[in-house]
Structure 1
Amino acid sequence: MAHRHPLRHRGRGGRRRVRGHRCRRGAGGAPRRRAGVECPVGTRPESHMSRRSKTPTPFAGPVRTCTGCRGRAPRSALVRLVLDGATQAVVVDPARSAPGRGAWLHQSQECLDLAVRRRTLGRALRAAGPVRLDGVQAWFDQHVRHEASDAPGDQSSTKKAGWKPMGTR
């Protein structure tokens, strides 16, 4: 039985036709034009047939996604984490060349906290059960610079009592 849905109808050649689209493809993928009818989508065959984005990526080289914040960044700006199969512990791969599946994180404590809270590291590494993150936490404590603490003796001059900012007028 033929498919009844008008948007999913497959015409000649197995391509999907869009409802209301008047241009039809001729031989070699070039548009076949009718007299007085313009193609509403575009005149180039790639304009609506291609799925690849035409916008250039802002990063040069390989791009990876941080499992904590889901932001994209160059491979060189992220830390690679791998799963040690014997101990079910996640370890940092500083050389980025250890065998096995890897997960990528920004070098920030916030991204690590997000990944732990969302439990994305175990899923990204396709671990069978819960994973231990002791080694990763220790590495981040050593290598990531922490923000200034809010301890009373550690205040800057802008937070001291009695200090007022200058006016802008």
Structure 2
Amino acid sequence: MTDEASNRPIRTCVGCRTQDIRDQLVRVVRGPSAEGEPPAVRLDETRTAPGRGAWIHPDQQCIAAALKRGGFSRAFKGRVDITGLEAQLRARVNPSQGTEPPLEAGRTPMEIR
């Protein structure tokens, strides 16, 4: 860690368990739960939502590790519903996934006039 990074807030990724500056991670927050249901976890875009939060690197390896090792349950100290969170995180990692058709190598989309 450099001197510049030591002056910034440091957080631990729930996927890879390494520490990094807050700007390199995204925050997820545990929401309210219905009776008998585990609380849902959602992406906190503003990083200011109330409630217990956890931090994760926005990359496939950290997301997969957190899901495989139960990183979200550990961070939120109990069973949580992460079904909606998975889609939110994967969309953040691959923003164009599913929005545009794949192109053949070396091709560009045709314009319609």
TM above 0.5: yes
TM-score for both structures, normalised by structure 1: 0.49
Q: Supply the AA of the counterpart residue of 1:120.
A: G
Residue 109 (1) aligns with residue 39 (2): no
Deviation at 1:155, TM superposition (A): 7.5
What's the RMSD between the two structures over aligned residues? 2.4
Gaps of 5+ in 2: 96-102, 107-113
Pick the aligned partner of 1:74 from 21, 24, 27.
21
- Amino acid in structure 1 at the alignment position of 2:74: R
In the comparison of the two structures, how many residue pairs are matched? 94
- Superposed, 1:65-144 pairs within 5 Å as 65-87=12-34, 88-127=39-78, 130-144=79-93
**Matched residues, percent identical?**
36
Contact 1:64 / 1:74 at 8 angstroms: preserved in 2?
Answer: yes
Q: Give the structure-2-normalised TM-score.
A: 0.71
Which has the higher Rg, Structure 1 or Structure 2? 1
Identify if the C-alpha distance between structure 1 residues 79 and 125 changes in structure 2 by more than 3 Å, giving closer, same or farther.
same
The 2-side partners of 1:78 and 1:134 are apart by: 20
Partner letter of residue 46 of structure 2?
A: A
Q: 1:92 touches 1:135 (CA, 8 Å); kept in 2? A: no
Q: Which has the higher contact order (CA 8 A, sep 6+)?
A: 2
Amino acid at match of 1:131: V
Gaps of 5+ in 1: 1-54, 147-152, 157-169
Please report how far the alpha carbon of residue 99 of structure 1 lies from its aligned counterpart in structure 2 after TM superposition. Answer: 1.2
Moved over 4 A (4+): 55-58, 153-156
**Whole-angstrom distance in 1 between the partners of 2:24 and 2:63:** 14
* Counterpart-to-counterpart distance in 1, 2:90 and 2:104: 20
